[in-house]
């Protein structure tokens, strides 16, 4: 009876499947997970924003075997997870599906995450200004971002907004995204209060800006560790 309860509580946590699969992958072998402080980062944003491509570049830069990034992505159903080993602890990256039908699953990650990376397709948001432009997916992007910020479980969690696809000629540049979308969301009623935040330009496809993004997250989760302590494993 006690055993059944334990399994159920592990499964109810979104962070449980990896633990279960790691153990299942190596039966009889000593636990491969070393001990240390572990921080979780979730990658959010509309489908097609570039979350999985960004995740692939992060893995290529930070995993010890530097795998080639798989840039031919397919829509993410479920989640892709990786754990980076950094000098100050483990950084676990959760790349979750961004399709409308999957967005309701995001909130199960909020309470346990230490940072949120919200990725925007800068070539699919009209002119990037919510005051004047309702075309592209700008409005959808605004609503989704507000929804994330408004959730009480994301309160105070550092937020990095990545203006992705900056390699494309038809992209909206980062200053316009800051002024036209991000600033307005932050100044609005649905900003969810004070938090550390930053907007950075990247190209997940070419890898430009990916390192800066990870470094920002690293520094901010450390600063915020009194409010959101790491999980010791
Ligand atoms: N030009 C360009 N295309 C990108 C970039 N990042 C992602 N893409 C493309 O956008 C599409 C969706 O990317 P994906 O990572 O699967 O998005 P996800 O749904 O957010 O995980 C793919 O065709 C990618 O090659 C980028 O920085 N520049
Ligand atoms: Mg994806």
Which of 154, 155, 166, 227 has the alpha carbon at shortest distance from 199? 166
Q: Give yes or no for a contact between 142 and 181, defined as CB atoms under 8 angstroms apart.
A: yes
What spacing in Å lies between the alpha carbon of 192 and ligand 2's midpoint?
26
In a domain, 5, yes or no: no
**The domain spanning residue 196 has which CATH number?**
3.40.50.300
Distance between Cα 115 and ligand 2 center (Å)? 18
Cα(67)–Cα(51) distance, integer angstroms: 17
Average pLDDT value over all residues in the chain: 86
Both tokens of residue 195? 């938090």
Does the residue 20 lie in any domain? no
Residue 198 lies in a domain: yes
Q: Which ligand is nearest to the CA of 122?
A: 1
Q: How many domains does the chain have?
A: 1
Residue 24 belongs to a domain: no
Q: CB–CB of 178/160 below 8 Å?
A: no
Whether residue 16 is contained in a domain is answered as no
Q: What is the DSSP letter of 77?
A: S
Asked if the structure places residue 91 within a domain, the reply is: yes
Element (H, E) at 11: helix 2-12
Residue 206 belongs to what domain range?
Answer: 35-232
List pLDDT tens digits, range 50-73: 999 999 999 999 999 999 999 999
- Among candidates 183, 144, 177, which has minimal Cα distance to 162? 177
pLDDT above 70: residue 215: yes
pLDDT band at 191 (very low <50, low <70, confident <90, very high): confident
Check if 205 has its Cβ closer than 6 Å to any atom of ligand 1: yes
Predicted confidence (pLDDT) at residue 76 exceeds the cutoff of 70: yes
Question: For residue 149, is pLDDT > 70?
Answer: yes
User: Could you tell me if residue 1 is inside a domain?
Assistant: no
pLDDT above 90 coverage of the chain, percent:
67
Give me Rg for the CA atoms of the chain.
Answer: 18
Q: Is the pLDDT of residue 129 over 90?
A: no
* Rounded CA separation 128/163 (Å): 11
Write down the pLDDT at residue 2.
Answer: 47
Backbone angles phi, psi at 223, to 5 degrees: -60, -35
Among protein residues, the one with the nearest Cα to ligand 1's atom 2 is: 165
What helix, strand, coil percent values describe the chain, rounded to 5?
40, 20, 40
Region 22-33: mean pLDDT is: 46
Does the beta carbon of 165 sit less than 6 angstroms from any atom of ligand 1?
Answer: yes
Is 93 a domain residue?
A: yes
Q: Could you tell me how many helices (H) and strands (E) the chain has, helices first?
A: 8, 7
């Amino acid at each position: 009876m006690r055993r059944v309860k334990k399994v159920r509580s592990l499964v109810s946590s979104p962070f449980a499947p990896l633990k279960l699969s790691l153990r299942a992958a190596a039966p009889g072998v000593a636990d491969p997970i070393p001990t240390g402080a572990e921080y979780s980062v979730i990658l959010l944003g509309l489908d097609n924003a570039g979350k999985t491509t960004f995740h692939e570049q992060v893995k290529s830069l930070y995993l010890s075997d530097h795998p080639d990034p798989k840039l031919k992505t397919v829509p993410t159903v479920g989640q892709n997870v990786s754990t980076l080993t950094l000098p100050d602890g483990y950084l676990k990256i959760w790349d979750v599906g961004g399709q409308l039908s999957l967005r309701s699953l995001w909130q199960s990650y909020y309470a346990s995450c230490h940072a949120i990376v919200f990725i925007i397709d800068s070539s699919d948001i009209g002119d990037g200004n919510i005051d004047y432009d309702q075309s592209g997916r700008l409005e959808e992007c605004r609503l989704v971002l507000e929804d994330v910020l408004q959730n009480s479980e994301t309160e105070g969690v550092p937020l990095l907004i990545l203006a992705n696809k900056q390699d494309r000629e038809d992209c909206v540049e980062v200053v316009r995204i800051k002024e036209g979308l991000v600033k307005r969301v932050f100044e609005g009623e649905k900003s969810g209060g004070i938090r550390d935040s930053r907007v950075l330009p990247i190209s997940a496809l070419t890898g430009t800006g990916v390192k800066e993004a990870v470094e920002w997250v690293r520094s901010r989760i450390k600063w915020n560790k009194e409010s959101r302590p790491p999980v010791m494993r």
